[in-house]
Amino acid sequence: MNNYMYNQNQWRLDGRNFVAAYAHGDVNGDKVQDHIYLMGQKLEGNPYVTDITLVIQDGFSNQFYYIPLPTSQGYQPTIFLGDFTGNGIDDILLRINSGGSGGFGYFYLYSFVNNQFMLLFDYERFNEWYEYTVTYKDQYRVEIVNQTLQLSYLIDLSNRDSEYLAEIYNENGTLKQPLNGWVSGLNQLYPIDFDGNGVYELYALQRVAGRYNADQLGLIQTPLAFKNGSFTPFLNNQYAAVPGVKGG
Work out the average pLDDT over 124-142: 97
pLDDT band at 248 (very low <50, low <70, confident <90, very high): low
What are the tens digits of pLDDT across the range 83-92? 999 999 999 9
* 3-state SS class at 115: helix
Q: With a cut of 70, say whether residue 157 has pLDDT above it.
A: yes
- 239 or 46, greater pLDDT: 239
Furthest CA-CA distance within the chain: 73
pTM, two decimals, is 0.90
* 3-state SS class at 55: strand
Looking at the chain, how many residues does it have?
248
Helix residue ranges, H only, 86-129: 123-129
At 215, the amino acid letter reads: D
What are the tens digits of pLDDT across the range 60-95? 999 999 999 999 999 999 999 999 999 999 999 999
Q: How far apart are CA 73 and CA 222, in angstroms?
A: 25
Give 234's DSSP letter: G
For residue 233, the cross-strand partners are 224
* 3-state SS class at 67: strand
For residue 35, the cross-strand partners are 24, 57
Helix then strand count (H, E) for the chain reads 2, 18
Residue 146: which H helix or E strand, with range?
A: strand 141-146
What are the tens digits of pLDDT across the range 104-123? 899 999 999 999 999 999 99
Q: Checking DSSP bridges between strand 188-192 and strand 141-146, what pairing results, if any?
A: unpaired
Mean confidence (pLDDT) of the chain:
91
At 65, the amino acid letter reads: Y
What pLDDT shows up at residue 228?
92
Work out the average pLDDT over 115-141: 97
Q: How far apart are CA 120 and CA 97, in angstroms?
A: 19
What pLDDT shows up at residue 7?
38
